[in-house]
Amino acid sequence: MEEVVTLQLEAPLALVTLNRPKSLNALNSEVYRQLIAILRRVEGMDDIKAVILTGAGDKAFAAGADIAQMVHEDSMAARRLSGLCHEAAGLLENMRQVTIAAVNGYALGGGCELTLACDIRIAAEQARFALPEVTLGIIPGGGGTQRLARLIGAGRAKEMIFTGDQIDAQEAWRIGLVNHVVPKEDLLETCRTLGKKIASRASYAVYLAKTAINSSQEIDLKNGAQREMDLMGLAFATHDKQEGMEAFLARRPPEFQDF
| Residues 110/67, Cβ–Cβ less than 8 Å | no
| Residues 30/4, Cβ–Cβ less than 8 Å | yes
First to last CA, the chain: 39
Q: Provide the strand spans (E) within the chain.
A: 5-10, 13-18, 50-55, 60-63, 98-103, 106-108, 120-124, 128-130, 167-168, 180-182
CA distance 183 to 123: 8
Instruction: List, in sequence order, every residue forming a beta bridge with 130; answer none if it has no partner.
Output: 108
| Residues 114/62, Cβ–Cβ less than 8 Å | yes
| Residues 167/128, Cβ–Cβ less than 8 Å | yes
Identify whether 113 is a catalytic site residue.
Answer: yes
CA distance 224 to 212: 7
CA distance 234 to 89: 27
Please report how many Cα atoms fall inside a 13 Å half-sphere around the Cα of residue 159, on the Cβ side: 7
Encoded amino acid at 91, one letter: L
The one catalytic residue among 30, 87, 113, 243: 113
The one catalytic residue among 2, 133, 159, 218: 133
Query: Which residues are catalytic, by number?
Result: 113, 133
